[in-house]
Amino acid sequence: MDIISVVFYACVCGALGVAGPKLGTTWVRLLIGAGVGVVAATVLPIITGAIGSY
């Protein structure tokens, strides 16, 4: 897996998490968003490999 993809998605989702005020404090939203980004970056290669693209 590409570490750049993990970091990129973690940053993007972390920034999006900061924008979601209903999840709690800024740090909680940042951690939730970063976690979602790591999961997305981990699952993306599996999905693209399964459908034969990328």
Residue 54 in this model has a pLDDT that exceeds 60: no
Q: Which domain holds residue 42?
A: 3-51
Calculate mean pLDDT across residues 33-48. Answer: 82
Predicted confidence (pLDDT) per residue in 5-39, tens digit: 777 778 877 887 787 777 788 888 888 888 888 88
Tell how far CA 21 is from the center of its chain. 18
Q: Which two tokens stand for residue 24?
A: 């709690």
Calculate mean pLDDT across residues 46-50. Answer: 80
CA distance 9 to 15: 10
Residues 36 and 13 sit within 8 Å (Cβ to Cβ):
yes
pLDDT at residue 31 in the model: 87
